[in-house]
């Protein structure tokens, strides 16, 4: 039986699929090869729209060269380095604080932290809780929720329903046994 996955056809032409697939050396691209999860920088506990807004920011920021981001020509992203920050987690080995940057997702959604290597931004930390610069206005320094399933709510509902089924089965057995004890009044 053959493979269900089609094999690419050999072609000597380099075809461009559309405008989104045109590579420019100036525009920023993002890499997730350096991501670290710490007790302060993680995705757990984010609101349901956080990832959507993150990807929208990544898509939009990818339309600009690095120089436009780091000079704050695009103030939306508030890109800045962390030269004077006091991060609550240690930076990865070989990363200097002066080389670490933040790109804001939105005012309420925090940002991402990482380093530039030419036009590639290597994301190190996700910071939905604003923990790089904790402030009482956004809840202060907080640890992220411990990892959980994206289906946690559903799993909790299923567990409650299973408990209810067990209780109803016990009730049913009780009433069936009681029904056998009922005296027939007509006799």
**What parts of the chain have a pLDDT lower than 50?**
none
Domain limits, the chain: 23-138, 149-179
pLDDT recorded at residue 67: 87
Closest CA to 32 of 16, 64, 63, 54: 54
pLDDT in tens, 78-88: 887 778 888 88
Is there a contact between 95 and 46 (Cβ–Cβ < 8 Å)?
Answer: no
Cβ-based neighbour number of residue 169 at 10 Å: 10
pLDDT recorded at residue 162: 93
pLDDT recorded at residue 12: 56
pLDDT recorded at residue 147: 54
Q: How far apart are CA 108 and CA 106, in angstroms?
A: 5
Is there a contact between 80 and 98 (Cβ–Cβ < 8 Å)?
Answer: no
DSSP helix/strand/coil, 5: coil
pLDDT recorded at residue 122: 93
Q: Alpha-carbon torsion 51, 57, 60, 62, what sign?
A: negative
């Amino acid at each position: 039986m053959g493979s269900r996955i089609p094999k690419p056809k050999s072609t000597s032409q380099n075809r461009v699929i559309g405008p989104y697939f045109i590579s420019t050396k100036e525009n920023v691209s993002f890499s997730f090869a350096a991501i670290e999860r710490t007790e302060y920088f993680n995705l757990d506990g984010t609101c349901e729209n956080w990832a959507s807004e993150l990807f929208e920011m990544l898509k939009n920021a990818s339309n600009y060269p690095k120089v436009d981001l780091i000079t704050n020509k695009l103030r939306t992203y508030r890109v800045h380095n962390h030269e004077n920050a006091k991060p609550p987690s240690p930076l990865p080995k070989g990363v200097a604080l002066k080389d670490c940057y933040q790109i804001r997702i939105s005012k309420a959604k925090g940002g991402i932290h990482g380093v530039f290597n030419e036009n590639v931004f290597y994301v190190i930390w996700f910071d939905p809780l604003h923990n790089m610069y904790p402030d009482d206005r956004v809840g202060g320094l907080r640890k992220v929720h411990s990892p959980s399933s994206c289906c946690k709510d559903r799993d909790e509902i299923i567990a409650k329903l299973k408990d209810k089924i067990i209780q109803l089965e016990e009730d049913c057995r009780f009433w069936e046994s009681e029904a056998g004890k009922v005296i027939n009044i007509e006799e």
